[in-house]
Copies of this chain bind each other. A is one copy, B any other.
Amino acid sequence: MYRIGIDLGGTNIAVGIVDEAQRIIAASDAPTVSQNGAGALLNDIAATVNDALARGGLALRDCAGAGIGVPGTCDTARGIVRYAHNIGWDGVPVTAELRQRLGLPTFLANDADCAALGEVVGGAAKGCGSALMVTLGTGVGGGFIVNGRIWSGHGGLGGEFGHMCIEMDGAECSCGQRGCWEAYASATALIRQADSAAKAHPESALNTTVLNGRTIYDAAASGDETARAVTARYAEYVGVGLVNFINALFPEVVLLGGGVSGAGEALLASVRAYVAAHAFVRETALLPEIRAAALGGDAGIIGAAALVH
């Protein structure tokens, strides 16, 4: 049987039909239009599902069920989106609504959790019973898989990995608190750190480029001392949060995703070195492997499909 994976984003609805080898064998997408209300958007989602099936020469009866990842706080047990600010949802009973439209068993989870699950069932953490996936993007997000299942907290209220305080009374965070990991380890924070370093070092190549994760790591790779110092310190910021979760939760593997993870080994090697030097477990061979996420945008679809059971 096939399963339907739906990754509902703030700008796009992405649907994939996933086979038992965790491959997307047919797909479709559509823009996310939220201003006409949840019912209209759910209709668009159902239409996109039907389009993906048609492209694969399949019908709903070929599928065991559908899973959907939503960018918000999800009460997965009850199938309700508590709130998803991007799309204006508040208390939407998504699984019941989709079941009505598709006539299939339907399951719900947060989109970042779906991405983590996708990497576990078919990506960089394939075969692992536990994994922590951390996304270094505009903010710092994450998903935690334990005993093969998403753990998003009681009532789905957890998963705010970026809002761990790593510096009491530290840098201001967009959430209103101080010292959050996100305020140091997000792409936004990296750019701010590079901007500040560039101003202090007029000779740096960082002054001659638009700053983003790629250009900062490129400048470091070219030997720019200021960029090297920025990326070295940034790896420590990423590392300190990973050490915290490794010490407490010790997942089998840690995955880094999001824009900054595109820096690849330049980021991973220095993060691994920090973790090896600071983790409570001193035997490096026992520590969780730290890897780049592998599935990119497909992770959310594959993970959403994996919710079907």
Contacts and interface: CB of A to CB of B under 8 A. Distances in A.
Interface string A150-172: 01111101111101111110100
A154 B250 contact: yes
Which of A142, A170, A246 is packed against the most chain B CB atoms within 10 Å? A246
B165 A168 contact: no
A129 B153 CA distance: 10
A200 interface: no
A290 interface: no
B286 A159 contact: no
Contacts of A163: 247, 280
Nearest to A173: B280
28 contacts: A129-B154, A130-B154, A142-B248, A144-B248, A146-B151, A147-B151, A153-B248, A153-B251, A154-B250, A155-B250, A157-B250, A157-B281, A157-B286, A158-B250, A160-B248, A161-B248, A163-B247, A164-B247, A164-B248, A165-B240, A165-B243, A165-B244, A165-B278, A167-B167, A167-B168, A168-B170, A175-B280, A177-B280
Interface of A: 129-130, 142, 144, 146-147, 149, 151-155, 157-161, 163-168, 170, 175, 177, 236, 240, 243-252, 278, 280-281, 286, 288
